[in-house]
């Protein structure tokens, strides 16, 4: 806003948010599907934003990074959120998300995003999930890294404790040592980075994660690519790879695998 002081601008932003017309709410509700290579502007606060280049369709990446918070819950917290078929009437079914804390691992989503914790998303893409989580958990720091962000980081975010950084999960040069409590990989590093056939790259990623993770940090990942081909044959190798490199691993009843960093690693 031109000619308006920062306090007034923030107040206007909060009012717009309250009635559901703030940029973030509009962005999260948008059904727009970008064309391959399209640039997307991600609103992260009253005056902050991030540009992101869609990776899929350009021959370099085959995964889409527009996952929403509900998809993260289903893929990374399946120990807590089950998808069940509900018979509405006369054989008409609807798939609904049913919370179930009976098989909770590492405290589930509330512990992963507990106040004061720092959460790192490996390959946050359009950051739809992180933006929603930052609304649901306002006292948690969320960091999303992606090598397709056009700026290095978003700074001085007061209303949204979320940082989007141009970084690579092989290096995480913007992340300090032993600074992260929770690591997320939804169709990210453990789907498109850690491979049995490429041990050198896999070791580079796990060594980087060991550097930035605090002792007893929790890693939640999936390996599903959303294709019809079954890629489960590499799951056991990843589990053993993590166990051999300082993590206790707990597969869940769904697509989620949970790993906890050992205190002496």
Give the C-alpha separation, 123 to 100, whole Å.
28
Range of lowest pLDDT (76-90, 172-186, 214-228): 76-90
pLDDT at 232: 56
Percentage of residues in the chain having pLDDT higher than 70: 73
Q: Is the pLDDT of residue 112 over 90?
A: yes
- Say whether pLDDT at 164 is over 80: yes
Cα separation, 143 vs 127, whole angstroms: 10
Domain boundaries, the chain: 34-261
What is the architecture, at CATH level 2, of domain 34-261? 3-Layer(aba) Sandwich (3.40)
Confidence band for 2, pLDDT divided at 50, 70 and 90: very low
Residue 115: the pLDDT is 94
Q: Which residues pair with 92 in a beta bridge?
A: 89
Does the pTM of the predicted model rise above 0.75?
A: yes
Average pLDDT along the chain: 82
**47 touches 33 (CB < 8 A):** no
**pLDDT for 256:** 93
Query: How large is the average pLDDT for residues 30-42?
Result: 80
Average pLDDT over residues 37-59: 78
pLDDT of residue 83: 65
């Amino acid at each position: 806003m031109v000619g308006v002081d920062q306090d007034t601008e923030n107040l206007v932003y909060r009012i717009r948010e309250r009635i559901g017309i703030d940029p973030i709410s509009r962005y999260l509700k948008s059904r727009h599907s970008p064309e391959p290579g399209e640039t997307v502007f991600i609103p992260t606060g009253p005056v902050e934003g991030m540009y992101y280049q869609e990776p899929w369709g350009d021959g370099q990446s085959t995964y889409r990074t527009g996952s929403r918070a509900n998809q993260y819950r289903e893929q990374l917290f399946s120990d807590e959120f089950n998808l069940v078929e509900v018979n509405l009437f006369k054989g008409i079914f609807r798939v609904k998300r049913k919370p179930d804390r009976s098989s909770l691992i590492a405290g589930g989503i509330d512990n992963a995003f507990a106040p004061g914790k720092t959460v790192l998303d490996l390959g946050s893409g359009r950051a739809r999930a992180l933006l929603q989580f930052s609304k649901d958990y306002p006292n948690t720091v969320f960091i999303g890294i992606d090598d397709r962000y056009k700026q290095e980081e978003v700074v001085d975010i007061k209303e949204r404790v979320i940082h989007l950084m141009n970084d690579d999960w092989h290096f995480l040069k913007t992340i300090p040592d032993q600074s992260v409590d929770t690591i997320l990989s939804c169709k990210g590093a453990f789907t498109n980075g850690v491979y049995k056939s490429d041990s050198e790259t896999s070791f580079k990623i796990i060594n980087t994660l060991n550097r930035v993770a605090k002792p007893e940090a929790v890693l939640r990942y999936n390996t599903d690519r959303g294709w019809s081909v079954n890629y489960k044959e590499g799951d056991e190798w990843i589990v053993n790879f993590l166990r051999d490199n300082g993590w206790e691993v707990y597969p869940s009843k769904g697509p989620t695998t949970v790993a906890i960093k050992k205190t002496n690693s």
